[in-house]
Structure 1
Amino acid sequence: MAKPRRSPSRSTPSDVQGAWLRRGLDQPGGKLPLFDERGQRVKKPTVEACLKAGWAERWFDNPLKPDWLVCRLTEAGRTALGGHDHGDAAPADEAEADVRQGALI
C-alpha cells in the first residue's frame, strides 16, 4: 500500500492562495470572496489549503447554498501576507451581522 503524499507545509501562501487571501484585506470582517475577478468560483482546493494552513476560517454556513464555504481572513492569514491590522475594516461582529443579513453575499 502506497503512503499518502504529503506536501511540505508552507509558511507563506502560493500566488493563487495569496491573491485570494489579499481580497479579504479590505473587506468588512475580512470576508473572502466566493468568486474570482472573472466571476468564476474560487477553486475548492485553494480554499481548503488556506483553511488547513489557518490563513482563513469558516465564517458561517449559507443555508441557501450549503456547499459554498463562506470564509474570512484570519490574523495568521494577514501575517502570512505580510500585513497586520487594517483599521479600515469594520469590526468582525458588525461585519458578521451584515453578512448574515445578506449585505455582503
Structure 2
Amino acid sequence: MSKSTVNRERMHPELEEWRKKIDSIDHQLSSLLCDRLNCAQNISEIKHRNGEQVLQPAREKEVLSNVLDKADSQLKAAALEKIYRCIIEETRLFQHEWKNEQSCEKQ
C-alpha cells in the first residue's frame, strides 16, 4: 500500500465522524427551520389581520445584524450573511404564499 492510501484510510474514520456531526446538525437545522416557518406563518397571519406588508426591511436588517454578531470571523460572517439572506427571502416568499392561500380560501 502506498503512503497516500494509508493516510486516506486513517483519515476516513475522522471524516466519517465529521460527516455524522454534520448530519446531526442538518437534522436539527431542518427542525429549527420548520419551527421558524411556523413562526413566520403566525407573523404573516397577524400582519394580514393588521393590514401590514410582508416585506419589512428594518426587521430583516435587525435579523441579519443579530446573526452576524455571533460570527467569530469575517469569513464566517460573510457566509452567514449569504445563508441568512436566502433564509429571509424564502421566509418572505413563504409568507406571501400563505397569505395568498388564505385569500383564496376566503373566496
TM-score for both structures, normalised by structure 2: 0.31
**In proportion to residue count, which structure has more helix?**
2
Q: Compare the two structures and name the one with the higher strand fraction.
A: 1
Structure number with larger C-alpha Rg: 2
TM-score, normalising length from structure 1?
A: 0.32
